[in-house]
Structure 1
Amino acid sequence: MWGSERVAALDWGSFYLREDMHVLLVNDTWSLCPQPVGHHIVRNKWVYKIKQKPDGSVDWSKALFDLGFTGSHVDYSLFTLHRDKLHIFILVYVDDIIVTGNDDSTIFSIISQLKFEFVIKDWCGLSYFLGIEAARDDTGLHLCQSKYIADLLDCANMVGARSYKVPCISYSKMSKFDGDLLNDPSEYRHIVEALQYVTITCPDIAYSVNQLCQHMQAPTSTHWTSAKRVLRYLKHNTDFGLHYKPSIIALHAFCVSDWASNPDDSRSSSGYGIFIGQCLVSWSSKKQLVVSRSSNEAEYRSLALTTAEVYWVRMLL
């Protein structure tokens, strides 16, 4: 970056650096202290980020202070199921906050208190949160990750790729010996990690993503082809997601197992889906920890895993 572009970037960065430093000082975020004897300092840097809206337009710019360079699913259903019985719920993820409930005056009071204590921005209605798009209409609340998926396709250079109608081939079993080892597995790992986040609103790819995750250590060309197939499937269903609508609070659970599905260690896979009324609120697809010696044993292990999750959801309710 040279000439006017470099000067513009420096001016933009210094402006937001001063603004964010002012906020940190006003809020007494940190206090200076001497370095402890025998301990190393954790390095840090400023990261300048442009946050976009779901349509791709610039929402706001921000300077982020990154310490150390280190690298569940958001449950919106309760707000939709029974608004007349809902109390105040506050969801916090780092510095992103959702305040929701059935009493507008209480919500306004909480937000006012937060504004009094901290420098915050109130975006009013919920529309975009951590890459998840939320749209409400008369039928309920719709959650999807259209923009996140579009950005993921662009990152993988698959915007113009042909779309598929299914995420994987039926009865296919991926082995660690299939294909040739990738020279640089970093792209595979980056894409699969991003696909894990997509399962927040796309449980239909959970099984395929779980299979891909089992080969993160030494991915091959065959595994990479399977990962791209999931991306092609998402391209076909970019706007698909979860729909939460008012419903009776009744707990339903379904589970399944795939006996000896792993060709390398003969372990089975378990899967479950838990519904409150007609709304899917929890799901999983994972490999069992031990080898099941029969299909019945695999089913019972899957049932035990589902029962534990149902118990947790019941205690939460």
Structure 2
Amino acid sequence: MQQEYDALISNGTWTLCPRPLHHNVICNKWVFKIKRKADGTVERFKARLIQIYVLVYVDDIIITGTHPHIITNIIVKLQSEFPLKDLGPLSYFLGIQVTRDASGLHICQTKYITELLHKTQMNGAKPSKSPCTLGSKLSRLDGETLSDPTPYRQGVGALQKYTLTRPKIAYSINQLCQHMHAPSTTHWTTAKRVLRYLQGTTDHGLYYNKGNLQLNAFCDSDWAGCPDDRRSTMGFTAFLGECLIAWSAKKQAVVSRSSTEAEYRSLSITTAELF
């Protein structure tokens, strides 16, 4: 912290002065992070001072709704307060493609998936019908350690973005991400299967249709499923009407002593996510 503070002073970032009367003070915030080495060990602790300014630049604002006149009123009010340009209906945002029809909209990441397949040289691979084999569980002891883990880390890191529109690969990506520090040949083969699945389903995505607004959620857990630390993996999906709006697959923080305990932990995590 002291080194970061001294650097700000030496660069003339601040000018110390008495506090003006009848003015609010804008606070700053320290952000602490841990930088780790490739094997997962701690390299050093990092501290950054985030400065908060009154001037804020907003790049994109997405307004959604089913009543055009309400959306128009919101845009008019925003234009009266900020410089705002209406770009029209959403079609492409942060790599997500959006298409509409009479009953709803379809979102997918075809372009990003195609680019990843070319980058990993998997664009000509034989498509797979599923992202993983039924009941597959990865262990740190599987296979031989890769001599160059960079392609694995880059590929799996990129795959995390595709869970935004492809919830079916969430469990597989969760398994692969647990071995980023020391990937093996088995882990890389499993990652390639996910890529082969995407190869055959590049145009798949999520479809949101107009219907009832009843909220339903489903959750489950795999008790002591991890062969390395015996922690359970939980997953949940949430639907607004027929539309899938939230999903997750992750390992529970502690070891559950029974399948019932694992199920209750899954239920509590799902409830917390919804509310």
Identify whether the pair has TM-score above 0.5, normalized to the shorter chain.
yes
CA distance in 2, matches of 1:210, 1:258: 13
- State the percentage of identical aligned residues: 55
Q: State the partner residue of 2:204.
A: 240
Residue by residue over 1:227-266, the C-alpha shift from the partner in whole angstroms, topping out at 9 and shown as x without a partner, is 1100100111111111111121111110011111110111
Mapped contact 1:133–1:143 kept (Cα < 8 A): yes
Tell me the secondary structure at the aligned position of residue 10 of structure 2. Answer: coil
Query: 1:100 deviation in Å?
Result: 3.5
Match of 1:105 in 2: 72
SS at match of 2:164: coil
Structure-1 separation of matches of 2:116 and 2:212: 36
Tell me the TM-score normalised to structure 1 length: 0.66
Structure having the larger proportion of residues in helix: 1
After superposition, residues 7-86 of structure 1 pair within 5 angstroms as 36-38=8-10
One-letter code aligned to 1:256: D
Question: What is the Cα deviation at residue 301 of structure 1?
Answer: 1.0
Which residue number in structure 2 is paired with residue 70 of structure 1? none
Using the alignment, how far apart are the partners of 1:156 and 1:179 within structure 2? 20
What is the Cα deviation at residue 300 of structure 1? 1.2
1:191 aligned partner, one-letter code: G
CA distance in 1, matches of 2:12, 2:92: 39
- 1:257-268 aligned at under 5 Å gives the runs 257-268=221-232
Tell me which amino acid in the other structure corresponds to 1:128.
Y
Amino acid at match of 1:139: S
Among 101, 116, 122, the residue aligned to 1:137: 101
How many angstroms does 1:180 deviate by?
1.4
The match for 2:83 is 117
What are the ranges of 5 or more consecutive residues in structure 1 without an aligned counterpart?
Answer: 1-34, 42-92, 313-317
* Residues 271, 285 of structure 1: 8 Å contact kept: yes
Q: What is the CA–CA distance in structure 1 between the aligned matches of 2:75 and 2:58, rounded to whole Å?
A: 21
Q: Secondary structure at the match of 2:62?
A: strand
In 2, the alpha carbon distance for the partners of 1:278 and 1:134 equals 18
Given that residues 100 and 107 in structure 1 are in contact (C-alpha distance below 8 angstroms), is that contact kept between their aligned partners in structure 2? no
Aligned length: 224
Give the secondary-structure state (helix, strand or coil) at the position aligned to 2:63: strand
Structure 2 gaps, min length 5: 1-6, 14-56
Please state how far the C-alpha of 1:294 moved relative to its aligned partner: 1.5
C-alpha contact (below 8 Å) 1:253/1:275 kept by paired residues? yes
Once residues 99 and 146 of structure 1 are traced to their aligned partners in structure 2, the CA distance between those partners, rounded to angstroms, is 23
Q: Using the alignment, how far apart are the partners of 1:242 and 1:202 within structure 2?
A: 7
Tell me how far apart the structure 2 counterparts of residues 39 and 108 of structure 1 sit (CA, whole Å): 41
